[in-house]
Amino acid sequence: MASPIDETTLSTLSLLESRLLRIEHVIHGRDSPTAPASGEDSALQRMADLERRFGLITSRIRVYGELMKIYNANPDFFHAPKPSEIPSQLSPDAIRSIVLASAPSFSTTLSALTAIQDSPIPDPAESASLITLSDRMKAIEATQLAQAAEMAELRSRSEVALRAWFEGDMLPKSDFMADVEDRFEQVERAVKRRENEIERAKAI
C-alpha cells in the first residue's frame, strides 16, 4: 500500500503533467505526440519524462527559454513580495527616495482619517425617526406630483379659455371698432369737402 507522501507526490506529478499537456496542446495546436505516463511508472520516471518534455519546449520556443533564464536568475520578479518585506533588488538609496517621495501622502491620508474620525455620527434616534417618516414622505411626494399634474391641466384649460375669449370676443370687437373709425373718417372727410364747397360759393 502506497504511503500518503507517495500519493501526494504522484498527484502533484499528475497535475504538472496535465498542465504540460495543455501547454503542448496550445503550442502545437494538437495533442502531444508523447503518450502520458501510466500510473505504473515510478515518480522518478515521471519526473524525468516531464523534465525532458519541458526541456524540449523551452529549447524549441525561444521566448520560453529566455523566460526560464530570467526566472532562474531573478525569481523575485515572478513572485510579489509581502508589503512588509523590503525589495531585495533595490538599493538603500532607491528605497529611501521612494519613501521620501511618498511622505506627503502619509500626512494627507492621516488628515483624511482624522477628519473621518472627527465627523459626528448622526443620532440613531433621528435616523430611526426619518425611517418611520419614509411612508409619509412618499405620500407627500405623491400628493405633490398629483398637484403638479392638476396645475398643468389648469394652465392648459386657462390657455384654451383665454384664446377662445380673445379670438371670439376681442378680435371681432376690434374689427368692429376699426370699421366704425374708418366710416367716421369717411363721413368727416365728406363734411369737410361740403364745408369747403360752401365757403368757395360764398366767396364767388
pLDDT tens track for 73-102:
766 666 666 766 666 666 778 777 877 887
Distances in Å between the Cα of 90 and the Cα atoms of 76, 85, 95, 106 are 12, 12, 6, 22
Q: Is the pLDDT of residue 46 over 50?
A: yes
Q: Side-chain half-sphere of 152: how many Cα atoms within 13 Å?
A: 6
The three cell numbers locating residue 154: 389648469
Provide the residue ranges of all domains of the chain, joining segments of one domain with +: 43-78
Q: What is the mean pLDDT of the chain?
A: 76
**CA 69 to CA 71: how far, in whole Å?**
5
Residue among 104, 23, 31 at smallest CA distance from 68: 23
The three cell numbers locating residue 115: 477628519
The three cell numbers locating residue 63: 521566448
| More confident position, 1 or 116 | 116
Query: 107-153: per-residue pLDDT in tens?
Result: 888 788 787 777 777 677 777 777 788 888 888 888 999 999 999 99
Contact predicate 39/7, CB 8 Å: no
Answer yes or no: pTM beyond 0.75.
Answer: no
Confidence of residue 174 (pLDDT cuts 50, 70, 90): confident
Q: What is the pLDDT of residue 151?
A: 92
The three cell numbers locating residue 140: 407627500
> What stretches of the chain show up as alpha helix (H) in DSSP?
4-28, 43-60, 62-73, 92-118, 124-132, 134-165, 171-203
